[in-house]
């Protein structure tokens, strides 16, 4: 069966593979599967109204009532679905992708991203056109709602707001013209911060910067934090489930460091388990252990991390791309919550962000890749694992721990390549390990005569 859902819901280029027909049919499929009352929201993309209204038409046709929350961060809609009695949520967003893209993401009744089993069932309805069609007098009703105020209150209520207010932080926010624009500045101002905004007028053309908050895209923010003498800068991705931080010197802080800072803080406060994918830097585990917690690793993907957190009753979890999950709040990545938490840690610990970062152990990551056809990946990986003997962690791909670091060999889910990551406390060693394992994979491919 052809797949509709990728790793991040259904995505494509507007009016090409992501069009009104698809949104309508997907709306009908989601409505057929869940029934009941369904919430819907969007980020700021130019195609949102087109896709949202098509999806709403599909949902209404199955007899579902639709609650349209308009433009808001993904975690705000997820929080609304979790707190209310809605049966599901639909978010029109392509997260960090370029503006010509858009997507449809389905949220389960508890606010989490939909699991694979349920995606399969919706796909089955979609491809086999097993749509429910309500009678004329049972067509669903459309309601307009506002879900942002409740979300802002929830985030502010989850942190030590008084302590943060005492500090009177100056914060520069770069919402990337995305879904955070109408929400994140208000969270910060409710926490007593002086808020300076950048790219915080919603605009689906993303005129300010690219929607992904990687270092190359946030140089304006880095400069502005320094020039304003601000305490911190925060950049969000297009749907504001991820947040990336800039310290008071204008330095970009990579997501593994923020993940480690919050993980360590939570472990110290509450102990227990921190969940993160197997690709995460060892700086997180080393810091968490020091603070009295332990780390459980999962396959790569935020829904997988969230589900594992539920399963083990984790204290905290997240990814090193700035996606942090606070279980007492909700089981999904939440950029607003991540921002408030970092401010709380700065306030409680009485430290600048750069000082918090300096406490995190330094590791170096080297990345490389080998071309390998999708059909042969499995065979190559099996041969590699066999060659390595017993010492392989198979959580996701193959991870080999050694005295001075680790190597993760992982086939790409979408491209015909096998990725190799190597991490060590010494930079040269990381590079050497990556090269060494690249050679091993290349040898297997050459030996077996695979055309790659």
Nearer to Mg ion, 95 or 330 (CB): 95
Report the distance separating Cα 234 and Cα 172, nearest Å.
6
Min separation Cβ 136 and Mg ion, Å: 39
Assess 68 for contact with Mg ion (CB under 5 A): no
Site string for Mg ion, 92-111 (x = CB under 5 A): ---x----------------
Nearer to Mg ion, 95 or 200 (CB): 95
Nearer to Mg ion, 307 or 399 (CB): 307
Judged by DSSP in three states, 320 sits in coil
| CA distances (Å), origin 417, targets 368, 370, 389 | 10, 6, 23
For Mg ion, the binding residue among 37, 68, 184, 239 (CB under 5 A) is 239
Nearer to Mg ion, 206 or 406 (CB): 206
Size of the site for Mg ion (CB under 5 A): 4
Active-site hit among 61, 95, 302, 339: 95
Assess 237 for contact with Mg ion (CB under 5 A): yes
Helix (H) or strand (E) holding 207: none
For Mg ion, the binding residue among 212, 241, 285, 396 (CB under 5 A) is 241
> Is 282 an annotated catalytic residue?
no
Assess 123 for contact with Mg ion (CB under 5 A): no
What contacts 108, CB < 8 A, 6 or more positions away? 81, 88, 114, 115, 118
Min separation Cβ 18 and Mg ion, Å: 16
Q: Please name every residue paired with 409 in a beta bridge, in sequence order, or none if there are none.
A: 398, 420
Min separation Cβ 17 and Mg ion, Å: 20
Question: DSSP secondary structure string, 42-86?
Answer: E-S-TTHHHHHHHHHHHHHHTT-EEEEEEE--HHHHHHHHHHS--
Min separation Cβ 138 and Mg ion, Å: 36
E strands, 190-255, are 194-198, 232-236, 243-246, 252-253
Q: What is the DSSP-derived secondary structure letter of residue 423? A: E
Q: How many CA atoms lie within 13 A of 221 on its CB side?
A: 32
Min separation Cβ 107 and Mg ion, Å: 13
What contacts 296, CB < 8 A, 6 or more positions away? 273, 274, 275, 276, 308, 312, 314
Nearer to Mg ion, 63 or 103 (CB): 103
Q: How many CA atoms lie within 13 A of 442 on its CB side?
A: 10
Helices (H) and strands (E) in the chain, counts: 15, 19
Residue with nearest beta carbon to Mg ion: 95
Min separation Cβ 445 and Mg ion, Å: 34
> Of 76-95, which residues contact Mg ion (CB under 5 A)?
95
Nearer to Mg ion, 91 or 267 (CB): 91
Catalytic residues: 95
- State the residues that interact with Mg ion by CB under 5 A: 95, 237, 239, 241
């Amino acid at each position: 069966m052809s797949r509709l859902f990728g790793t991040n819901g259904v995505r494509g280029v507007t009016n090409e593979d992501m069009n009104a027909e698809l949104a309508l049919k997907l709306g009908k499929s989601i409505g057929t599967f869940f029934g009941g009352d369904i919430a819907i929201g969007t980020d700021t993309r130019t195609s949102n109204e087109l896709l949202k209204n098509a999806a709403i038409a599909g949902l209404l046709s199955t007899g579902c009532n639709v609650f349209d929350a308009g433009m808001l961060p993904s975690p705000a809609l997820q929080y609304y679905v979790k707190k209310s009695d809605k049966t599901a949520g639909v978010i029109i967003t392509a997260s960090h992708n370029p503006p010509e893209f858009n997507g449809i993401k389905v949220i389960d009744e508890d606010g989490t991203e939909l699991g694979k089993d349920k995606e399969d069932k919706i796909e089955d309805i979609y491809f086999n056109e097993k749509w429910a069609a309500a009678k004329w007098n049972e067509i669903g009703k459309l309601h307009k709602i506002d879900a942002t105020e409740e979300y802002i209150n929830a985030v502010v209520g989850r942190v030590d707001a008084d302590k943060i207010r005492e500090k009177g932080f100056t914060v520069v926010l770069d919402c990337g013209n995305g879904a955070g624009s109408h929400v994140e500045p208000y969270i910060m101002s409710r926490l007593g911060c002086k808020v300076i905004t950048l790219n915080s007028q919603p605009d689906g053309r993303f005129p300010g910067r690219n929607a992904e908050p990687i270092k190359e895209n946030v140089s304006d923010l880095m400069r502005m934090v320094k020039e304003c003498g601000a305490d911190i800068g925060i950049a969000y991705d297009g749907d504001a489930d991820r947040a990336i931080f800039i310290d008071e010197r204008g330095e970009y802080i990579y997501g593994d460091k923020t993940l480690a800072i919050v993980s360590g803080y939570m472990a110290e406060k509450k102990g227990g388990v921190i969940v993160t994918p197997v690709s995460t830097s060892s700086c997180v585990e080393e810091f968490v252990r020091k603070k009295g917690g332990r780390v459980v690793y999962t396959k790569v993907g935020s829904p997988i991390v969230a589900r594992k957190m539920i399963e083990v009753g984790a204290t905290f979890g997240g990814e090193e791309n700035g996606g942090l999950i606070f279980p007492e709040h909700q089981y999904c990545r939440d950029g607003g919550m991540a921002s408030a938490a970092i401010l709380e840690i700065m306030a409680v610990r009485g430290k600048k962000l750069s000082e918090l970062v300096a406490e995190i152990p330094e590791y170096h990551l080297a990345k490389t890749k080998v071309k390998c056809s999708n059909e042969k990946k499995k065979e190559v990986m099996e041969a590699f694992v066999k060659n390595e003997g017993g010492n392989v962690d198979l959580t996701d791909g193959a991870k080999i721990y050694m005295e001075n670091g680790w190597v993760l060999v992982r086939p790409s889910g979408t491209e015909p390549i096998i990725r190799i990551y190597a991490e060590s406390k010494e930079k040269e060693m990381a590079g050497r390990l990556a090269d060494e394992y690249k050679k091993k994979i290349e040898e297997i491919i050459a030996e077996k005569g695979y055309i790659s």
